[in-house]
Amino acid sequence: MQEYDIVIGLEVHAELSTKSKVFCSCKNEFGAIPNSNCCPVCIGLPGALPVLNKKAVELVIKAGLTIDSEINDLAVFERKNYFYPDLSKAYQISQLVRPICVGGELKLKNKIVRVNRIHLEEDAGKLIHSSGDAGTLIDYNRGGVPLMELVTEPDISSAEEAVEFLTKLRSLLVFAEVAECKMEQGGMRCDVNISVKPKGSNVLGNRTEMKNLNSFKSVYRAIEFESERQIELLEKGEKVVQETRKWDDDAGISYAMRKKETSQDYRYFPDPDLLAVRIKRDEVENIKRTLPLMPDELKKKYVSEFGLTDYDAEIITKEKFLINFFEETIKLHSNPKNVANWLITEILSKIKDEDQPNIKISPENLAKILNFIAEGKITRTVAKEIFAKVWEKDENIDALVKTMGGGISDDELENLILRIISSNPKAVEDFKASPTPEKQLKWFVGQVMKETRGKANAVKAEEKIKNILSK
């Protein structure tokens, strides 16, 4: 069979983290009572005038700076005309000719994906198709929520790469506090443009577009399905029709929706109600200064300054909540490698299946546990038990340490050792007779750990046993 290249371009929408909508002062808020955050501007009553939310422009500039886009000096808003029930004014305010950001790139593990542009537009309302008699309901709360749209060049060649791109982009946007990208709330959505061509060919095939995919999993499955479908058509000598297709995640198939529109179909023209936006260089510089170190830079820092492995640094810098937790904890415990270790082995294993990860222990408490281990007050075994208890129910660590092992006092430990020694004369003889008594010593330590069910401090116990037996 002929081999094929898959060519993918993405259009990613993310709702911006502003307090109010982009052209009116209604709240930008998820989950409010339907149609409660609306006004004449965002539902598009005739004569209502939009006023631009400056914060939304700043956030798009910020997004552009994280991927090395050029920021246009002049940005223009245009009307994109189309009718759909979720868009009551029959046009969406968007940008075509002069978006805020042009160009840019995102580095993946094995390639660089070029970005064509990022522009600012308004979101539409939301249709709710009820299963009962109510038919389709419309909630206009989302109408007018500021949305950035990032368009890539067709540089992506597999479902894996598409997901890698989206994961990285999401982490940048969340990190720079541009958008929260809560996918389960529709805060980040993706359109996938996809075509296939014979391997190595310079001629692009006809492409299809799948709109509004709202999970990485559905992006992955949709690409796998659609590329297979196109390859099968070509193999049969048929043509791929250029069209917009709907991805049905439950059924795991895509089906034709409508012929793909071009920008001419939308009759874009500059919105006469909005002035062009002049973006000054010093404003851009000011925004640049507010950017935190980005995940890639942090990763380098964690490896070179803290001695973390590439692998550990990569995992931690993938998510903002992990970075924050790590940074807070190392302020209170001096060994960053320990913190990374616990974060990855203990904490991540507890939250990996959760959609909205929630670390149920504070950085202060984890640091406390790690400090107790470092000071020899508790063993790792006890530490893990304490950790588990705190995770279940936020308990007082100092009290736990007292009752669980940190509670074995020096006297108690010594008495226990003396008891073990006096009831095992044969082992004592072996110890004294051996030129290298490490094995016997370990046996005694083992007895202590068994008696205390792992709660004694093994290092301390070994020292004491050695002292007593060498007398």
Q: Is 39 in the site for Zn ion (CB under 5 A)?
A: yes
Letter for the amino acid at 140?
Answer: Y
**Residue from 26, 59, 113, 373 in contact with Zn ion (CB under 5 A):** 26
Residue 70: CB atoms within 10 Å: 12
Residue placing its CB nearer to Zn ion in the complex, 88 or 244? 88
- As a whole number of angstroms, the distance between CA 376 and CA 286 comes to 48
Using an 8 Å Cβ cutoff, are 6 and 227 in contact?
Answer: yes
Q: Which stretch binds Zn ion (CB under 5 A): 11-19, 31-39, 128-136, 147-155?
A: 31-39
Residue 255 DSSP SS3? strand
Q: Is 24 in the site for Zn ion (CB under 5 A)?
A: yes
Residue placing its CB nearer to Zn ion in the complex, 55 or 111? 55
* Pair type for strands 112-122 and 269-270: unpaired
Rg (CA), the chain: 30
Residue placing its CB nearer to Zn ion in the complex, 122 or 226? 122
* Pair type for strands 70-71 and 78-81: unpaired
Q: Which stretch binds Zn ion (CB under 5 A): 17-25, 347-355, 360-368, 420-428?
A: 17-25
Residue placing its CB nearer to Zn ion in the complex, 42 or 101? 42
How many angstroms separate the most distant Cα atoms in the chain? 101
Q: Which stretch binds Zn ion (CB under 5 A): 23-31, 61-69, 328-336, 445-453?
A: 23-31
Residue placing its CB nearer to Zn ion in the complex, 141 or 457? 141
Please write down the long-range contacts of 458-465, taking CB distance under 8 Å and 24 or more positions apart.
458/379, 459/376, 460/376, 460/410, 460/413, 461/413, 461/417, 464/413, 464/414, 464/417, 465/417, 465/421, 465/441
Map residues 250-289 to x or -, x wherever contact with Zn ion holds by CB under 5 A: ----------------------------------------
CA 242, distance to chain mean position in Å, is 33
Burial of 159 (0-12, 13-18, 19+ CB in 10 A): buried
CB of 42 to Zn ion, least distance (A): 3
Residue placing its CB nearer to Zn ion in the complex, 35 or 206? 35
Q: Which stretch binds Zn ion (CB under 5 A): 38-46, 119-127, 158-166, 346-354?
A: 38-46
Q: Is 145 in the site for Zn ion (CB under 5 A)?
A: no
Q: Which two tokens stand for residue 55?
A: 């914060």
Q: Which stretch binds Zn ion (CB under 5 A): 21-29, 120-128, 221-229, 379-387?
A: 21-29
Q: Is 210 in the site for Zn ion (CB under 5 A)?
A: no
Number of residues binding to Zn ion, judged by CB under 5 A:
5
Half-sphere exposure (CA, 13 Å, Cβ side) for 55?
A: 17
Q: Is 42 in the site for Zn ion (CB under 5 A)?
A: yes
CB of 143 to Zn ion, least distance (A): 8
Q: Which stretch binds Zn ion (CB under 5 A): 33-41, 183-191, 215-223, 440-448?
A: 33-41
CB of 201 to Zn ion, least distance (A): 49
Q: Is 56 in the site for Zn ion (CB under 5 A)?
A: no
- As a whole number of angstroms, the distance between CA 337 and CA 194 comes to 43
| Site residues, Zn ion (CB under 5 A) | 24, 26, 39, 41-42
